[in-house]
Amino acid sequence: MRKQTISFAITRFVALICILLALLITTLVINKVVDSNKQLQRHDNKREANAISDKYKTFLNDRLILLQEHSKFPLMLQTLMQPESHLGKVSDFMAELTILGKQYNEILIDFSGHTIYSSQAHSTNYHRKPWLQPLLNSQETSAVQLVMIDQQYYWVLASAINYHGISQGVLLIEIPIGEIYQQTQSNNILDGLDIEIIHKKTSVIRFGEKISGQAVDIKWEILPITLRVTFDQKTLTPQLHSLIFEIAFIIAAITLVILITAYLYAYVTFVKPLVSLADATEQLEQGQRQPVLHENIRILEFSRLFKKFNNMVRKVEQREVSLKAANEQLTQANLDRKLSESQLVQSEKMASIGILAAGMAHEINNPIGFIKSNINVFQEYVQSLTAYIEEQKQLLSDEQHQQQQQLADKHDIDYILTDLTQLLASSMTGVERVSEIVINLKDFSRLDAPEKTLMDVNEGLQATIKMAHNEIKYHCELHLQLGELSQIMAYPGKLNQVFMNLIINAGQAITDKGDIYIRTFQSNGFIIVEIEDTGSGIKAEDLKSIFTPFYTTKEVGKGTGLGLSICHNIIKQHDGRIEVHSEVGKGTTFAIYLAIE
């Protein structure tokens, strides 16, 4: 007796059962599919007929909307009110009007129903058309009709031309009925279809060849028209046969899958566990994340082997996690070191500027003081000299006064005295400007003491603005709204550094022209400094990283990624915080909160 495996015996038994069930299920399913297909086909035919009807209505509605826009042209109303004066203009104007790139016969009718102008030579008399009266009587604003003209049917679209709610006339267009065929031609919608337009029980036009099959009638509400769509049943029979064949094929395929599944059961039981173990070993070798092997399987030897393998993988993962943690700590320490070095360099720069500013203030203020004092004395001399000349004029006789005036005119004495006063005033303004620049530079870069000192935030902000003015004055307009603030204990140089960084960033965010708004006020125990720009804004995905050291969205070489990080750390040293709100394309607002106490 020939021996066989149990897997093969089970497969043969399942095969017999599956074949019998497949035959029974196929018969039942095919009968159900045939009935359902008929119902579904009726529903699809109705839906497709409605879709065709909607396209035709859209065809007319789009052109009616454009016609209504034409009727709103001022020249139309002017021609209706003064036809003799504007007939030439309206004829040239209407001759160039198009509807969706095509020219149709457009007709302008006055309030009595008579034609004033027609863009084509022939014109239909619409005077006695019953549907025209509601438009002329201001009862309706538009109308769509199907009219026979010269033994051919046309779609006639009409739009009333109103003045203060009263109809002054009507603008018409005549569209050949066959134009509506263009809505179906591009999509080959006439394949297997017979479309008729029936007007008052008369077939007006037919699209496609006459066929026999299921007909669907769609009655239009806006017109006494019925759209009849006939579907060719011959095109549906092959589809039904194809569907039945597909169902039979699917059932046969399912039966085959069941057979193969039964036959491969033995493979799954013994070979698949070994394959999964080999795959897991390969993934572990490549460094990929290893899924846990199922230890609860029927084969005892496989269960013990998988358990030992999983224990080994867990130990490897634990060591890998420890190594990654150590690497992250080392990376963070390196970042902290670089940030500290950058802050130290920045502090040294500010200290150098402070020393330079103090020296400049000492060296420049002395000669500036001499110049300013001499200019003041010079101005007094000029005033005394002018008063002397005026008093001398009063003591001279008329003849002497005339001689003196001729001499003064010869040497431009009056102009010299006037221009000298202006020159001295301009020189004094320049001297005061130099003094102000030196003071601002000194205030901005003042050296910080080891401990906090009493500071007026508004003064520090104003000094910073003056230092940053040259960077932003050509493309930014600055708006200041400084409120009354209490003095706080702070590091003035560091806060000025924060203000300078945010103002320069705001200017760089504005590419063409824009505004920068700087506001200060007190609220809930905090001094709040807001710096807002109308620049390009920051993307939402970048907002969470802008204070991260070395993170920058600028081009290579144009940013270190440390500016905002340093600002954030400085504000933390003051027990404050920085908040930011930004919208792409609208701008960014930074808000600095400094505790008063």
Q: What is the CATH number of the domain that holds 96?
A: 3.30.450.20
Which among 430, 446, 462 is the end of a domain? 446
Give the C-alpha separation, 234 to 196, whole Å.
19
Of 144, 141, 117, the C-alpha closest to 129 is 144
Give residue for tokens 């320069």: 504
Domain that holds residue 398: 332-446
With respect to residue 207, please indicate whether it lies within any of the assigned structural domains.
Answer: no
How many Cβ atoms from other residues are within 10 Å of residue 504's Cβ?
Answer: 15
Domain final position from 446, 479, 508: 446
Does the pTM surpass 0.75? The reply is: no
56 and 140 both lie in a single domain? yes
Query: Of 582, 586, 491, 483, whose CA–CA distance to 535 is shortest?
Result: 586
Angle at 559 between CA 554 and CA 561, to 5 degrees: 95
Q: Mind listing the pLDDT tens digit of every residue in the chain (597 residues)?
A: 566 544 455 566 667 777 888 788 878 877 877 777 777 778 888 888 888 888 888 888 998 999 999 989 998 888 888 888 888 888 888 888 888 888 888 899 988 888 888 887 766 788 888 888 998 888 999 999 988 888 888 999 999 999 888 989 999 999 988 888 765 555 555 567 888 888 888 888 888 778 877 788 888 888 888 888 888 777 666 666 777 788 878 888 887 777 777 667 666 776 677 677 777 777 777 777 666 777 777 777 778 888 888 888 888 778 888 888 888 888 777 766 766 666 566 556 655 665 666 666 656 766 777 677 777 777 787 788 888 777 777 777 777 777 777 777 777 777 787 777 777 777 777 776 676 666 656 555 554 445 788 889 998 898 888 878 877 888 899 999 999 999 999 888 888 888 988 998 888 888 888 999 999 999 988 999 999 999 988 888 888 778 776 556 555 444 555 678 888 888 888 889 999 999 988 999 999 999 987
Question: Contacts for 184-191 with beta carbons within 8 Å, 24 or more apart?
Answer: 184/52, 184/55, 189/52, 191/235
Domain co-membership, 344 together with 484 = no
**CA distance readout (Å), 54 to 58, 223, 245, 427:** 6, 14, 35, 83
- Domain shared by 411 and 507, yes or no: no
Helix (H) or strand (E) holding 476: strand 476-482
Mark whether 37 and 50 lie in a shared domain. Answer: yes
Residue 215 bridge partners (DSSP): 230
Structurally, the chain folds into a number of domains equal to 3
pLDDT at 314: 81
Three-class secondary structure of residue 57 per DSSP: helix
pLDDT of residue 447: 45
Cα torsion through 578, 579, 580, 581, rounded to 10: -160
User: Among 74, 67, 133, which residue's Cα sits nearest to residue 102?
Assistant: 67
Q: What are the φ and ψ backbone dihedral angles of 540, each rounded to 5 degrees?
A: -60, -40
**Half-sphere exposure of residue 422: CA atoms within 13 angstroms, side-chain side:** 6
How big, in percent rounded to 5, are the helix, strand and coil portions of the chain? 60, 20, 20
Q: Say how far apart CA 280 and CA 506 lie, in whole Å.
A: 54
Q: Do 417 and 510 belong to one domain?
A: no
Three-state secondary-structure class, residue 310: helix
DSSP string across 232-270 = EGGGTHHHHHHHHHHHHHHHHHHHHHHHHHHHTHHHHHH
d(CA 173, CA 147): 11
- Give yes or no: residues 14 and 86 share one domain: yes
Q: φ and ψ at 206, to 5 degrees?
A: -130, 135
- The CATH code of the domain that includes 500 is 3.30.565.10
Identify whether 353 is part of a domain.
Answer: yes
Does residue 218 belong to any structural domain of this protein?
no
Is residue 77 situated within a structural domain?
A: yes
Identify the burial level of 190 via C-beta atoms within 10 angstroms of its C-beta, where 0-12 means exposed, 13-18 middle and 19 or more buried: middle
Work out the end-to-end distance of the chain between its first and last CA atoms, rounded to an integer number of angstroms. Answer: 102
Residues sharing a CB contact under 8 Å with residue 81, sequence separation 6 or more, in sequence order: 163, 168
State the DSSP string of 321-356.
Answer: HHHHHHHHHHHHHHHHHHHHHHHHHHHHHHHHHHHH
Answer yes or no: is 493 within a domain.
yes
Sign of CA dihedral 384, 390, 395, 401: positive
Residue 583 and residue 472 share a domain: yes
Adjacent-strand bridge partners of 155: 146, 175
Q: Is residue 268 part of a domain?
A: no
Question: Do residues 382 and 462 share a domain?
Answer: no
> Is residue 17 domain-shared with residue 127, that is, in the same domain?
yes
**Dihedrals phi, psi of 549, to nearest 5 degrees:** -60, 140
Place of tokens 């538009």: 142
**Using CA atoms, how far apart are residues 81 and 385, in angstroms rounded to an integer?**
81
Residue 259 resides in a domain: no
Tell me: do 14 and 83 sit in the same domain: yes
DSSP string, 143-191: EEEEEEETTEEEEEEEEEEEETTEEEEEEEEEEEGGGGGHHHHTTTTTT
pLDDT at 557: 44
Let me know whether 415 and 514 are in one domain.
no
Q: Within this chain, do residues 456 and 432 fall inside the same structural domain, yes or no? A: no
Q: DSSP letter string over 364-423? A: HHHHHHHHHHHHHHHHHHHHHHHHHHHHHHHHS-HHHHHHHHHHHHHTTHHHHHHHHHHH
Name the DSSP class of 483. Answer: P
Q: Which amino acid is at 204?
A: V
Question: Which residue, of 186, 213, 232, is where some domain finishes?
Answer: 186
17 occurs within a structural domain = yes
What residues does 172 pair with on adjacent strands?
107, 158
Nearest to 516 by CA among 562, 558, 556, 481: 481
Sheet of strand 476-482: strand arrangement: 476-482, 514-523, 526-533, 587-595, 577-583
